[in-house]
Chain A
Amino acid sequence: MSLFKSFKKKIKNEPDPQNQDRGILVFENTSEVIRAENILKTEGWKIKVMGPPPEIRSGCDLVIEFPLIEELYVLRRLTEVGVKPIKVVPVNSVLLKPVDLFQIRDFGRHLMIRAANMKIAVDKKTLMIVNVSGGGCPDVPYLASQMVGKYLTDAPHPGDIGHTLCGYALQIAYDEIRNRCSL
């Protein structure tokens, strides 16, 4: 048996691996679906218009399947053109929600916040971002290079320059640390 096939045995009812990197964009109405489809297809995204799974059927009979990892970039682009989806969910587990738990560590002079797999640390006195860590998508080193050494008041927002779910998680940590630093 080939190496690849020999390891393909999965437990029953596990999510389908072929869809694990796909997400669903849910819109208010079908005309928004069509507008979003036109924009994303024109820009070269691998997307598919399809019927929604039963768990999220809410009136609109179409949704758009898209590359979930690039959620942050896709959402930003659709918001820019005024067709923001009302909901974004993973294809295989449509009831999953983005992480909303924080881990907070106070090192005295420095404060660190973790959201999902992303961490941000600031100097509490100067409000300078001293480190960004965690994550695995390629915008993480890029975001770190753009943010570390800058002040919370001036640093670019991960939501504006990031592209992936890691960038999205960093935005959540970033919002929380700004909140805790009373900004």
Chain B
Amino acid sequence: MTRRHRQRSRIVPWLALPLALACSEPERTDAPATPSAEVPLSVWVVNYPLQYFAERIGGAHVEVTFPAPRGVDPAFWSPDGDTVAGFQSADLVLLNGAGGSAWVGRATLHADRLVDTALGFADRLIAIEAAPTHQHGPTGSHSHGGSYFTVWLDPWLALEQARAIATAFSAARPERADAFERGLAALEADLLDLDARLSRAARSFGDDPVLFSHPVYAYLTARYELRARSVHWEPGAEPDAAQWRDLERSRADPPASVMFWEATPLGATTARLTALGIESRVYSPCANVPARGDWLDVMRANAEALAAGPRPGRG
């Protein structure tokens, strides 16, 4: 209110004052609560690898919540409103940032609490090929495709995700930065060891082709230069005739002798593959909490499965 206005508005203030006081509103105090170093950082994540990284880095200084039910693929899971409200209450929300978890784009979240762990390597994300495009209405054709999201199958990209997490933690709790750095260093050592194991394992295939049951291994095959071909089979479902024909077509020359699965396939499928000279092995992406062990245990088991090389006596 300007001085001129104030002067003019003092015409009969003694009459207006009691009424003005009667009609005045109570003051509100809504100062945000200051974060306390004693309270663990509340961190919600969208998949299990991020939970593992966050717990390794944050230790006792973070409380990590991964609300997706066991057994579902978090990339295709959508939380209900109450669960999203839980994400809203978190100090930080760790996003995979490479496609997957499409629900994030439809949810109401605090933008300044979101941590895109793949932001540092956005230019190295691998786009999903042949995503169908469609057109309706006047807006032109568009596709609902995106990038492959299993970035953590490449330990170097996993390390970049871990670094992004450590940076976010340190920004949120600067007084705990040293602890977070120590957690990151230990995780980094394990990831580099995993990389060394996978490098050796991949070399065992030489120029031999490798079959994958699902197109989710793009970052693994790109990092270790595997001659990979993928089909789109589910471990729990028996492939139909068309899928078997696709397999025949997709087998390279020389034909692949090993197919890696996300989980143990059905016995009948394994038997028919064996008859075709293809050995079935499990290479779990471990997007959700494993039945036994942790993410690193599963990745090391994957490396061992890969290290077994082509099927003995092939050809």
Q: Are chains A and B native binding partners rather than an unrelated pairing?
A: no
